[in-house]
Amino acid sequence: MSDRLSAITRDKKPKEIIMSFVFFICACVSILAIITIAMFLFTGGVPAIREIGVIEFFTGTRWAPDNVYPATPYYGVLPMIAGSAAITLGAIVIGVPIGVFSAIFLAYICPKRLYKVIKPIINLLAGIPSVVYGFFGMVVIVPLLRPFAENVDAAGIPTGNSILAASILLGIMILPVVIGISESAIRAVPKHYLEGALALGTNKIRAVFSVIVPAAKSGIFAAVVLGIGRAVGETMAVNMVAGNQSRMPIHLFRGARSLTANIVMEMPYAYGLHRDALTASGVVLLLFILIINVAFLFLVKRGIDRREGVMTKFLDVMSKPLSILKWVLLLVVFWLGIYFGNMWISGIAILVPLLYFLKRLYSLLSQKLILIIDKIWNVTCHSFTWIFAAVTVVTLGFIIFHILSNGFVYLATPGLFSTDPSNPGISLFPSIVSTVLMVALVLVISVPIGVFSAVFLVEYMKVGSRFVVIVRSAAEILAGIPSIVYGLFGMMFFRVFLGLGLSVLSGALTMSIMMLPLIIRSTEEALKSVPDTYREASFGLGAGKLRTVMNIVLPNAMPGILAGVILAIGRVVGESAALIFTAGALQVPRIPTSVFDTASTLTVQMWQLSNYGRYVNETYAAAVVLLIIVLMLNGVSGLIARKFSKT
């Protein structure tokens, strides 16, 4: 869509000018949000780093806040940085091979009917809230690792909370990111690459791994980078299974504390330098994520130099030992001939036919060895794609089955959905009401801004203009910022600076900024899918730009916009870390009577119930409610997406 026929459709009516300005302001919100987040975090965290000392803050191995150790306070974040790195590395080692092989399976091996089953399951994996993953890790993964654990509780009983537990859980959580982006990168490789490889006589598996995968490796690396960002920024799940000891990680079965877990654990009671040091930890985390996002954008947009295929490298490595062995054997035979012949002539006479025979034998064995290695490689790769895809599906199925089978019976617990404030038991009803109110406010704020931003970028700006690139880059950065950083920003800006306090409104404003990238991206794609002929016909009938957008383009793009809105609803429902600092985490949730009341959403209440330890049944019930909501939202989103694709 080149210049959008700007010379023909430019309308100077006041209404057109006003709405154009409104669209422009909405498009600038993403840029303003990035600037404001960076400004408030840096102004709150950098002075603390200066007061503590840059070297002590980044290299200190002890974290002892002054409100806990007033005599000798220390603020060294190296254990938390090392803990985050260790947990992330473990998650990448576990999640990346499974994710990449699963993506290859979905793109080139999976039957079409099976694909229609597996792909929605993987999408569902992305929609499960972090607290549900964390609770699954607490009741399944941690007990499995308990016999090997070093951490013990107050009674001296091993807990199982460890780096390995967090790595396994995060490895599962990053699968949708790695699979989704890797599959898109693999499918983006032109089909003639595969056709050319097959025409040269190779089989499909070898062609995929030696031609398609190397051609798509920039996108695959981008998936890995984004998976790292997802793992580094995760808060609630890591907090629930990692053990949370602020010490240097030594081995996999020892507990560790990540940067995100440190913030969410200590910020509720921190003050003074302790509070500023935690904000400085958020600055460090934000810098890490920005570096990761820049690397992701670089890999996606520019790619990397193409290298040899995987199979070619493998065979080259395998052939070098054979070549070295050949020359060693020739040298040994030569000197043996000399030794036994006692004469140069007799030695050469024996050596020449022997060398010829060895050369032919080596050539025959090399060809057979290469064929054997090739067959083993093909069978191994083919098997791994099926195995890892099965692991992904079985893992998700087991998570859902475990939560539903163990929690469904507790939905009938007396008083679980009681509306009576004097109910002595645990009731989920106030949290459900708070969640609904939060979702409604977020949609009222974020949907108009996100849709209008996309309208300005697609309908009013030239393709590839500098402003469009800046806004889209800002949206991509916003999408990669961890929720705990949003929580810090919301606490500093909406709670303190604007004076909104712990309230539904503070949480909704914070979540609205988080939802902007998702709504902008989905709306952009929906608008681009509307044929240009619709616009040209409207302009030909004398309609202006604004009327065409409002009456023609947006109605035709509505299914795609609704799909993005539903995904945003799922994100709001599953969020917890940002809402703890902005909306509140009440020990006894109550129904908010206004947007200025403190409220606990369902995910926040589930996190609190899991921390108490004695409300396991109620936690299972809350997890079931969340899973049912996620299943319903994914189902509706899938129906809308299918309708959108048909139209």
- Alpha-carbon distance of 621 to 634, in angstroms, equals 20
pLDDT value for 363: 61
Closest listed residue to residue 239, CA positions, set 636, 554, 585, 573: 585
Q: What does the pLDDT read at residue 488? A: 92
Element (H, E) at 63: strand 63-64
Q: How high is the pLDDT of residue 243?
A: 82
Question: What percentage of the chain exceeds 70 in pLDDT?
Answer: 81
Burial of residue 341, with CB atoms counted within 10 A of its CB: 0-12 exposed, 13-18 middle, 19 or more buried: middle
Give the bridge partners for 158, in sequence order: 152
- Of the candidates 433, 414, 432, 431, the one whose C-alpha atom is nearest the C-alpha of residue 423 is 414
- What pLDDT, in 10s, does the model give residues 232-258? 888 888 888 888 888 888 878 888 888
Q: What's the pTM value of the predicted model, to 2 decimals?
A: 0.81
Q: What mean pLDDT is predicted for residues 561-574?
A: 85
pLDDT in tens, 83-135: 998 899 889 989 988 998 899 888 888 888 888 888 888 877 778 888 999 99
Instruction: Supply the DSSP string of 569-623, one letter for each residue.
Output: HHHHHH--HHHHHHT---SS----SSTTS----HHHHHHHHHHHSS-HHHHHHHH
Task: Tell which residue, 487, 482, 513, has the closest CA to residue 502.
Answer: 487
Burial call 88-118: b when 16+ CB within 10 Å, e when fewer: bebbbebbbebbbbbbbbbbbbbeeeeeeeb
pLDDT of residue 629: 86
Q: Where are the alpha helices (DSSP H) in 174-216?
A: 175-187, 191-199, 204-207, 213-215
Burial label, 531 (beta-carbon count in 10 A; 0-12, 13-18, 19+): exposed
Q: pLDDT at residue 499 above 70?
A: yes
CA 351 to chain centre: 64
pLDDT of residue 136: 92
User: What's the pLDDT tens digit per position in 315-365?
Assistant: 343 344 444 444 445 445 444 444 454 444 445 545 555 555 656 655 655
DSSP count for the chain of H helices, then E strands = 28, 2
**Alpha-carbon separation of residue 570 from 174, 180, 374, 515, 566 (angstroms):** 17, 18, 46, 10, 6
What is the reported pLDDT for 365?
55
Quick one: residue 464, left, alpha or beta (phi over 0 = left, psi -120 to 50 = alpha)? left
Cβ atoms of 454 and 520 within 8 Å: the answer is yes
pLDDT at 5 over 50: no
- Average pLDDT value for residue range 552-560: 85
Taking residues 421-430, report their average pLDDT.
79
Cα–Cα dist 48/71, whole Å = 19
What average pLDDT does range 573-584 have in this prediction?
A: 89
The number of residues in the chain equals 647
Q: What are phi and psi of 64, to 5 degrees?
A: -135, 90
Tokens for 29, please give them.
């919100």
Tell me the CA distances in angstroms from 542 to 8, 56, 455, 547, one per residue in order.
10, 68, 20, 10
DSSP 153-177: -TTS-B---SHHHHHHHHHHHTHHH
The CATH classification number of 11-52+413-646 equals 1.10.3720.10
Query: Quick one: pLDDT at residue 12?
Result: 56
Q: Which CATH architecture has domain 58-312?
A: Orthogonal Bundle (1.10)
Looking at residue 381, what is its pLDDT?
75
CATH code 1.10.3720.10 region(s) in the chain: 11-52+413-646, 58-312
DSSP of 219-288, one letter per residue? Answer: HHHHHHHHHHHHHHH--HHHHHHSB---S---STTS-B--HHHHHHHHGGG--HHHHHHHHHHHHHHHHH
Q: How confident is the model at residue 442 (pLDDT cuts 50, 70, 90)?
A: very high
Burial call 416-433: b when 16+ CB within 10 Å, e when fewer: bebeeeebeebbbbbbbb
Binned at pLDDT 50, 70 and 90, residue 312 comes out as very low
Tokens read off for 162: 């460890």
Q: Inform me whether the pLDDT recorded for 645 exceeds 70.
A: no
How far from chain centre, in Å, is Cα 345? 72
Distances in Å between the alpha carbon of 364 and those of 326, 333, 359, 532, 601? 13, 19, 9, 62, 70
What local confidence, expressed as pLDDT, does residue 228 receive?
A: 83
Show the tokens assigned to 266.
Answer: 């200590």
Q: What is residue 435's predicted lDDT score, i.e. its pLDDT?
A: 92
Structure tokens, 179: 């699979």
Structural contact between residues 516 and 477, judged by C-beta atoms closer than 8 angstroms: no
**CA nearest to 120, candidates 638, 643, 542:** 638
CA 442, CA 516: separation in Å to the nearest integer? 10
